[in-house]
Each structure stands twice: as structure tokens, then as C-alpha cells.
Structure 1
Amino acid sequence: MIELREVSKAFQTDKGYTWAVGDVSLKIEQGEFVSIVGPSGCGKSTLLNLIAGFLEPTAGTIEIDKTPVKGKLHPTLGYIFQKDTLLPWYNVYKNVALGLRFHGVPENQVRKKVAQLLELGHLSGFEHAYPHQLSGGMRRRVALLMSLAVEPRLLMLDEPFGALDTHTKTHLHRELMEIWRKLGQTVVMVTHDLDEAITLSDRVVVLSSPPSKVLLDERIHIPHPRDVFTVRESPAFVAHFQSVWSVLGQQFRTAA
């Protein structure tokens, strides 16, 4: 579904050009869950924004469904940012319904779709609650449902659970896995949490320190469905963690 060929991105600064992404080539198939990890400053979020079409590459090409992205948003894209994007003056129902109404979906269909999503995200009964009345985990779930409401084929996640405690994060991992299995989107996630990447993903891609390139593209051989509460105890998880960390850890040591 997604193909990057020798993609790089430079930003101009007062001191010249800074390369956020060096030379990245990558293929992601329809329905895969792929996590991108790497040291700070290696261009993980920049790469995500290039795939989404928020940025144009300085060099190289990006295609989705064999169509060049060229800085244009994909029509079936869902994106969850690091920061909270809920509208504070809208309740949960109105936040989840926002994208549907923007696309002109009839109100009776909006009500049905929002009800289904709230049930899927275990938020039924919170329709009239406002963001400030929700826990951090519930706000993250609402943000996820907002993106899922328009039925994206491609879901981009930029450090979606980074600010949450371990208990809340693990429960959200389980819900994300349930939603992904039911709806079958292609998911690309940027994370600094290697445990999280291995727990959720079909593949984990390790980027080098800048100027970045792909150092490792490891397929995770842990069958689905996975129990996110116990998967870390499995020999397969430990083996993948050691394999990926042997490459990723070296990048952290070099960056330090």
C-alpha cells in the first residue's frame, strides 16, 4: 500500500540545511501494523508527516496505492497527533461526530455510527461528557474514535500513548488491537517505546541517527490475537526485544 524510495527531508535553518530524514526506503503492505523507532532527532515524526502528505520530501518518492503523495493528504487518512486534539467546547459525541458531519453524512447515520464507535471504544454513557471531565486514557480513546469515524484505510499514530501511565497505556493497547483486528486498517506508528512497538506491530523498523536510514526491518513472529497483558513474558517477545535492541541500543549509545 505504501512505498518510500530513497526519501530524504531537509529543513533550512539560520546555519544552513538540517537533514531530518536521510535516505529511507520502505514498503508497507495493506493491513500491516508497522512501528518506527529510533533515537531522538532521527526524523521519525517527520517521516510520518511525509507519508501523510503534510510535508513534501526534499528527494525521493512516496506512493500510496501506486499514486505519488507529493505533499497531498491521502483521502482515506486518519492521524492521531502527540498532543490532544479534542475540541474542548464539544462533548464526546460532538467530537466523534465532527468528521462525519464535515463529510456531509446524514444526521441519522451520524447517530448510528457514533453509537457504534463509542461502544467499540468502551465509551458508551460518556456521550455528553466534555474533554476536561475525562481521564487521559479516555481522551486518547476519543481521539482514536474521531480518526476512525471516517473509516480511514491508513491510520497514522505519532507517539499516541507517550504521556500515559503504564496501566492506562496497556489497556489502550488492548483496545487498539481489538479495533485494528475488526477494521483492518494499515497502521504506521511512531513510538519511543520498544515494548509497545513489539507488542502491537507486525514489523518494527529501526532508523539510524541523522541523517537517518533504515538499519533494521524486523518482522514480529508473535501470532495474533495477542494478549497485551502477558505477551511480554513470551520467549518470542524476549527474542525480538533483544534482536531489535542490539541495533537500537547502539544508536542511543552513539547519540549520547
Structure 2
Amino acid sequence: MNIINFENIYVSYDLKPVLKDINLTIQNGEHWVILGSNGSGKSTLIKLISNDLHPNRKYPFTKEVFGKDRWSIFDLKKKLGIITNDLHNYFSVHGSFLTAYEVVLSGYYSSIGIFKHQDFSKEQHQKALEALEFLEILDIKDKKVSAMSTGQLRRSIIGRALIHNPEAFILDEPTVGLDIKAQYSFIKLIQKLSKNASIILVTHHLDEVFPEVSHVALVHNKTIYKKGLKNEVLTSSNLSEIFELDIELKEEQNRYTIGKIQ
């Protein structure tokens, strides 16, 4: 099954086009990186996938997620774990009183917090503990968001999605705000997640392209400039085009770095 099947999609804000001619198919089991500069349209593309934005109906289009053209947000979140910096920041401000365990448990109701009217089964409590253990943060189960590091909160929010056993995760610039050690640890976590679910990683950082990534889509000028197999799309010439610099791409042991910029 396709996770995403988009054809000829345009998105506009107040009649101003923000995405144009989007054609993208991502199949279950594939791991993708969506790469582009700031302002290229990556965040808008995430909102299109999550149903927070809808196509401009002036143009004929196909927009299917998991084979359906209509989803309730609540049902979609059970199949597609979406981890954004906006969600992270929202928990930092409005969920600072929550523990890591409560952040994970709140995923059952897609709420920010745990409330008296919410009932949780013994199995749901157990699943929350298993998610914390899988993410290697069981030791901070009772730690409040206000006292967490950036990496700890991000893992807790992933746990919030993980309790539904989603078929895919969308991760929006997941290592922002992490130091070098935490970045390395987080990439290892993404690799661990990729064994059980498809990963769609949205970023402008080449060092986030982990070895299991099979496909790359390059976003440039509000459209998808190139897409396909990683070794065919992730090239010096293509990166030079989308970042509008003369870039030399280096690859060593399936990890990518910038060798030279002119």
C-alpha cells in the first residue's frame, strides 16, 4: 500500500501559491528524506500530508494517504506519527507540568495532558511503559517536561505516537536543538524506529540522512525538484541547484557531508 499518493497538488494561502504541482508517491516500507532549504515548502508539505492543509480545488488532483482521500485527524494519527517542532514547543509551554509517562499516555486521546474523564485500560498503561522502555527513557518516567532536556522531551513525544504502532513516522528536523552527542543518539533511535515503521524525515541537514534511507525528494521553489532512489537523487549537482550554491557532496560509509562550498 502507498502511504502517500499525491498527483498535481497545488496549495494556496489567500490566493498566494505555496506549493505547486506536487507529485509524490511513498510506499509502505520505504524510508524517505524530504530535503530542502528553509522556505522551500517543506513545512507546508507536512501540513498537506497531515490534513492540516488542503489542495486548491481549482486544479484536478489526487490526494491519498494510506489509500484514502478522507481521514479524520484522530484516526490518521493512529497510522501516521507526526513529530514536529511546533508540537515540541507546544508541550514545552503548555505541558510543562506533565511527566514523561503522562506525555506518552496522552496520545490515546491526542490531548495535551491527562484529565479525570479519560479512562485508560491496564493494557494502555502497560503499552505506555513499553514505549518508554523502547525509547530508552523509562528512567525518566516521572520527570516533568519542565525539567527535561530537548532530547528527552522529543523522545517522549515520539512515545505519544508510538503507542498506536503507527505504520509510518514523519519527523520534522528532529535533531534541532540537540548537541552532537544527543544528535548521534537520536539518529540511532530513528534507525531503531525504521525497523518497524516507514520513516519520512523532513530536513535541511545532510547529517540526518541515516543509512536506511532508500529515497530522497528535493523540495525547491515550492515544488518537488527531483525524487527517487537516494543514490540517484542525492548528488552534488542537485544539491547545488536547490541550495543555490556550488556544493561538493561527500559520502563515506553511507553518511553524507558537505566537502566544499563555493
TM over 0.5: yes
Q: CA 1:108 to 1:9, structure 2 compared with 1: closer, same or farther past 3 Å?
A: same
Cα deviation for residue 171 of structure 1 reads 0.6
Question: Structure 1 residues 18 and 40, CA, compared in 2 at 3 Å: closer, same or farther?
Answer: farther
1:63 match = 64
1:226 corresponding residue in structure 2: none
What is the TM-score when the length of structure 1 is the normalising length? 0.79
Q: Which amino acid aligns with 2:149?
A: S
Could you say if the C-alpha distance between residues 217 and 167 of structure 1 is closer, same or farther in structure 2, counting changes exceeding 3 Å? Answer: same
Within 5 Å, give how 1:117-132 maps onto structure 2.
Answer: 117-132=131-146
Q: Of 205, 223, 226, which residue of structure 2 is paired with 1:216?
A: 226
Question: What is aligned with 1:195?
Answer: 207
Contact 1:20 1:41 in 2 (8 A): no
Could you tell me which of 144, 150, 153 is aligned with 1:136? Answer: 150
Task: Please state if 1:165 is matched with 2:179.
Answer: yes
For 2:157 and 2:120, how far apart are their aligned partners in 1?
Answer: 22
- Classify the secondary structure of the residue corresponding to 2:17: strand
Correspondence for 1:252: 243
2:41–2:220 CA contact under 8 A, matched in 1: no
The C-alpha deviation readout for 1:82-141, integer Å capped at 9, x for no partner, is 131432111111111112366977431122111211111111221110012211111111
Partner residue, 2:26: 28
1:192 & 1:51 partners in 2: Cα distance? 19
Normalising by structure 2, we get a TM-score of 0.78
The alignment covers a number of residue pairs equal to 226
1:148-202 deviation per Cα after TM superposition (whole angstroms, max 9, x unaligned): 1122223222222222222211110101211221xx2232221011221354522
Partner of 2:130: 116
Verify the 8 A CA contact 2:6 2:64 in the aligned structure 1. Answer: yes
TM-superposed CA distance for 1:21, in Å, is: 0.8
Q: Say which SS state the counterpart of residue 78 (structure 1) adopts.
A: strand
What residue identity is the alignment partner of 1:140? R
CA distance change for structure 1 residues 8 and 102 in 2, over 3 Å: closer, same or farther?
closer
Name the aligned partner's letter for residue 95 of structure 1: V
2:212 & 2:176 partners in 1: Cα distance?
14
The residue aligned with 2:45 is 47
The whole-number CA distance in structure 2 between the counterparts of 1:190 and 1:136 is 18
Measure the CA separation in 2 of the matches of 1:105 and 1:203: 41
- How much is the aligned-residue C-alpha RMSD, in angstroms? 2.3
Structure 1, 191-200 or 26-35: larger mean CA deviation:
191-200
Cα gap change, 1:55 to 1:162, in 2 (>3 Å): same
Gapped regions of structure 2 (runs ≥ 5): 112-117, 246-262
Q: 1:150 — aligned with what?
A: 164
Q: CA deviation at 1:25?
A: 0.6
CA distance in 1, matches of 2:82, 2:109: 18
Unpaired stretches in structure 1, ≥5 consecutive residues: 222-239
* Paired position in structure 2 for 1:8: 10
Matched, 1:92 2:104: no
**Separation in structure 1 between the aligned mates of residue 20 and residue 209 of structure 2, nearest angstrom:** 22
What SS is found at the alignment partner of 1:109? helix
| Residues 19, 197 of structure 1: alpha-carbon distance in 2 compared, 3 angstrom cutoff | farther
102 and 109 in structure 1: CA distance in 2 versus 1, 3 angstrom threshold = farther
Offset of residue 61 of structure 1 = 2.1
The verdict on how the C-alpha distance between 1:72 and 1:123 changes in structure 2, with shifts beyond 3 A counting, is: same
Which amino acid letter does the alignment assign opposite residue 82 of structure 2? Y
1:218 and 1:244 in contact (8 A); partners too: no
